[in-house]
Chain A
């Protein structure tokens, strides 16, 4: 049962009504449409119903704050966040004779030379995987849009990022089918998708 679509200009009026900024003239115009056209009347009723329904907020699941605080207790206190993150001490791993298929990852960090706004830190992500056809990285820093990395002659996949300080979750995607977390990352967290995400902590 689909209503016969009318061509009345009601959408703009409903839009402004929903925001509570209908002018007196517009209010009259809206009343006239509602009074004369059944399709407009239905749409207006629906619009009001949507507005009223969405204003109601859902109750917070019981115990939410406790669950957050329990997880917070396991984190390093931001009061001590100025200490260097262990991730920053990682040096580029000498990726030499690696068993084919063994995946190794290293982070190489150095300070950006001429920071423009917030100082950025250069990070290089590496993943050795000679047998991999493609390796991509997806994470908070690129909105989880997987970006394919470049494979060097040494068989190591690399990508360089310039990031402001912060905590980033990420994972590799090998051969477009397998999510791989970094086995050496300082922190690995449950991705919530049946795997693990690596965590990259960048501080200055």
Chain B
């Protein structure tokens, strides 16, 4: 029996419990990884409603396929792969040409509860928020193959090796895509007004 780090051992324990019929044990996995999966979705899709749908679906798929999970391997990367595939499907579907797209529009994005930011200067906070929205738009405009490596590295802080394993890419490809993603993003941001906003927001 391999000794797993405590974090992993906890997951294995929860998975075993679910597989022996304790559905509520699944909550431990959801509580632990929901934020990371939600943020992945948020950065990939650029909106909170899609991110929530994707994250819910990822957990449901993980639950339904839990028996396929190889005991002893790490749960988080496995869950991640499911979530990433969902993001890709979602983005691909969203980019279907109009003639292929479903006729009814999806309901308006649910408004997200926003806590007011603690800032001595509301105008500063507003500028910061605007700059951040500009950044989100610029990320959403990156080609998917660049966007995913960028988000995994920059926002989720995975290592090159982890990204390569997750996406099934050679390390060199990860490096090239990440470099191009960063350069493209900076150029996009420079071309927009964001530069001004980010400077003022500092």
Question: Interface residues of A toward B: which range?
Answer: 35 or more
Would you call A79 and B30 a contact (CB within 8 A)? no
B130 proximal to A (CB < 8 A) = no
Alpha-carbon gap, A144 to B182, bound state (A): 28
Contact B195 A54 (CB under 8 A): no
Q: How many residues of chain B get a CB closer than 8 Å to chain A's CBs? A: 67
Instruction: Flag if A50 contacts B52 (CB, 8 Å).
Output: no
Chain A residues whose CB sits within 8 angstroms of the CB of B189 once the complex forms: 46, 50
Which chain A residues in 40-77 approach chain B with CB under 8 Å? 42-43, 45-47, 49-51, 53-55, 57-62, 64-65, 67-69, 71-73, 75-77
For A55, the chain B residues whose CB sits under 8 A away are: 154-155, 157
The secondary structure that dominates the A interface is: mixed
Smallest Cβ distance from B20 to chain A, in angstroms? 6
Taking the closest CB of chain B, its distance from the CB of A75, in whole angstroms, is 6
User: SS class of chain B's interface: helix, strand, loop or mixed?
Assistant: helix
Q: Is B118 positioned at the interface, with any CB of A under 8 Å from its CB? A: no
Does any Cβ of B come within 8 Å of A176's Cβ? yes
- Complex contact A14–B60 (CB within 8 A): no
Most buried by B among A2, A43, A76, A77: A77
Give bound CA distance, A53 to B185, whole Å: 14
Instruction: Say which one of B2-10, B65-73, B164-172 lies at the interface with A.
Output: B65-73
- Chain A interface (Cβ < 8 Å from any Cβ of B): 1-3, 11-12, 14-15, 18-19, 42-43, 45-47, 49-51, 53-55, 57-62, 64-65, 67-69, 71-73, 75-79, 81-82, 138, 140, 143-146, 165-167, 173, 176-179, 191-195, 201
10 A-B pairs with CB atoms under 8 Å apart are A14-B182, A14-B186, A45-B199, A58-B39, A59-B35, A64-B52, A65-B27, A77-B23, A81-B66, A144-B93
